[in-house]
Structure 1
């Protein structure tokens, strides 16, 4: 048995070595940076500062404001993705004509890089020639001059819409796979008992889908909170910091102001807080599932 274990480890080495070099190594290095005063510059000296960076973070109101914006963004995008994707998955699960085409088109946003999605939506939101303003103007809903991405009150909702659109495909695919695994016999039995569509959804579909929903919701929350490229292309955190997600804040701190140690401390705090929130969420959902 020991010989088999050695052989297994030997076979795993080609996969483990890149993981150690490209993932574990940078992770350990990033954690260590959080306890130093590392700054940009080849000649800058780095010294161990203990928890000084974390003490400074405790009084950094700009960081905690970006954290609040990040939570609003992540919660809103995750919730809307779940609701809209569940409806779309229900539709794609029906025996409709050209269903294969609809399923293919639903994956288009997933196949597009975040930078391309951001550029495309910047054109949609363009205040002078954007399709959104032109459409609203022709419908006599606005005067057609709204600057969506530069408005203090509209920038975050506008970016949330893009985040939902870009993230719906993978959520839809996962939920569609879950719906297809719900036994048809249960729906037939519920129908014979006189249950309507909503009753069948709440008593048959939703209980069977709950583990899938919990899993994709947790993953979506992590992905959305860690979003960077999409929002960076759309607004770069503006206007006035209204879309300054914590990842953007840490990026600016590291690469604009050169404070690598302080930025690493931000990243470590974000990981810790999100881990706590997800632990509480998953524990509550699993307890509900066991009841």
Structure 2
């Protein structure tokens, strides 16, 4: 009887999942499969209107494409640094917002505003903040005597990526904080009270209770942010356009330029497929490790 009931529940579960699975196939699987098919052809609307079968030539070309590997390096650097900083800051903010204080609800709402604002608007705002002539950031540093002349933050290859990371951290840290705050609120207060009665300090409670119980939320937030950061486009496009000298060009910007500017659909499709495979392997490895 129990076996029959479990089988019925399993079938019901699959039927309920079917619409979502079909939607995923339509939204993700078909475009990737179509891109793979297109990547086997040479089709550049600037020189050749009709596609010509090329086999794996586009992938061979990619292996020797220095610009592609540079964009992969930029993307990995941006993703790793931004996600680590966001996790640390988000955890700190979540711990503060989890405490009882007046107007806590209003503070939580305000803390979420950067995440709710459109990315293009945020990018434009940070572009003005880091403007070398009229930017607030240069003005603050000049008043503090830390710099003697205005720094071209977005035009200097040594600083451009860091400014983009700063803008991304400001926008997406609230997302991490809210996810971790939900995890903190699911931890029973009795655990801390019992631990305190045993003579444990706050740091010991944080290390032995908070972190272990919060680990699932940390891993989920990390995977979400890793996937989003790896595909970053609008923030970099608005702030630097991939410059200066390709210092902030991510793989998404390179794909966009290949398809929309150079009209090279075959090679652009190959870039999409390889990027998808790299991202999928990275996420699967991270999930397996956890």
Normalised by the size of structure 1, how large is the TM-score?
0.89
Root-mean-square deviation (CA, aligned residues, Å) is: 2.4
2:37 paired with 1:26: no
Aligned: 1:196 with 2:201: yes
**1:271 alignment counterpart:** 276
Counting matched residue pairs gives: 281
Deviation by residue 1:84-130 (Cα, 9 ceiling, x = unmatched): 00000000000012211211111111111111011010111111111
Per-residue deviation, residues 6-44 of structure 1 (Å, max 9, x unmatched): 9x979977x788766555443332221111112236970
Q: Report what 2:131 is aligned to.
A: 126
Flag the 1:24–1:280 CA change in 2: closer, same or farther, 3 A: closer
SS of aligned partner of 1:242: coil
Residue 187 of structure 2: aligned partner = 182
* Contact kept in structure 2, 1:127 and 1:144, CA below 8 Å: no
2:100 is matched with which residue: 91, 95, 99? 95
Unaligned runs of 5+ in 1: 286-291
Which residue of 2 is the match for residue 259 of structure 1? 264
Q: How far apart are residue 140 of structure 1 and its match?
A: 1.4
Report what 2:225 is aligned to: 220
How far apart are 1:260 and its partner, in Å? Answer: 1.1
Is residue 40 of structure 2 the alignment partner of residue 35 of structure 1? yes
**Equivalent of 2:154, from 133, 149, 152?**
149
Tell me the residue number matched to 1:138.
Answer: 143
Structure 1 residue runs of 4+, over 4 Å off? 8-13, 15-24
Contact map agreement 1:77 1:160 (CA 8 A) in 2: yes
Aligned to 2:123, the other structure's residue is in SS state: helix
Q: Does 1:81 align with 2:86?
A: yes
Cα 1:41/1:60, change in 2 over 3 Å = closer
C-alpha distance in 2 between matches for 1:235 and 1:108 = 24
State the TM-score, normalizing by the size of structure 2. 0.90
Task: Kindly indicate whether the alpha-carbon contact (under 8 Å) linking 1:134 and 1:144 is maintained by their aligned counterparts in 2.
Answer: no
Alignment of 1:52-67 (within 5 A): 52-67=57-72
- Contact 2:58 / 2:270 at 8 angstroms: preserved in 1? yes
Would the alpha carbon gap of residues 222 and 17 (structure 1) be closer, same or farther in structure 2, given more than 3 Å must change? closer
